[in-house]
Amino acid sequence: MRKPIIAVTALFDDEKNSIWMLPAYLDAITEAGGIPVILPLIDNNEDIKNLVSIYDGFLLTGGQDINPKIYNEEKAKQCGYINHKRDTMEEILLSEILKVDKPILAICRGFQLLNSHLGGKLYQDISIEKNNGKGSIHRQEKPYNKLIHKVKIKEDSLLFEIIKENEIMVNTLHHQAVKKLSPIVEEAAISEDGLIEGIYLKNKRFVLGVQWHPELLYKDFENQFSIFKAFIDSCK
């Protein structure tokens, strides 16, 4: 049987002016039954459209902060570094994928981009904008495969359909978060301090976003591996 070929958005090292990749994303796809391919960082609409036609599914990875202009805000001083090349390419990519209804798994930055691209907004920094400078439970230290906080999963969601649990523990590596949910997406999971940590699109083949990093957990926790397995199965 032909394995699904999965396009993975590249990470970018600004100091070296180079694309790169964390092996965990690729390993998770491979172990779930797919073949990962890292995408180039380009901004030509027709070229990106052609890329979308080639691959069976798309993994939107973590990385730099989302440009607040995407959700109609100015960049605040607490916002981290943004990469205009990634923002430009991935917005075009996301639009084209949704047009042809191919599967998407969006992780961390990818999750935030999905919400922002579809009309939602972000906290540019959780500790300052949500917690009044009191810090956040969402920036853990190594090891990153350690479980830090709970998320509750909505029973009627795609995520519950996959994991079949009402509550799970996750890792957490972000300082930005969903502030306003896109009117198009559905809430799938919420953290113990009230942040939206999972979203999905109804009436699509498979579009799921999670704020945490299941690629760093899947080897130790079956419920996290099931996310990748469901994604790859939807690409067949």
Enumerate the active-site residues.
Answer: 108, 213, 215
Residues 6+ apart with CB under 8 A from 181: 115, 120, 187, 196, 199
Contact 200, 159 (CB under 8 A): yes
Please state whether 135 falls in left (phi above 0), alpha (psi between -120 and 50) or beta. Answer: left
What is the length of the chain?
A: 236
Residues 6+ apart with CB under 8 A from 123: 129, 130, 176, 177, 178, 179
Two tokens, residue 61: 């990875």
Nearest CA-CA partner of 214 in 171, 165, 161 = 171
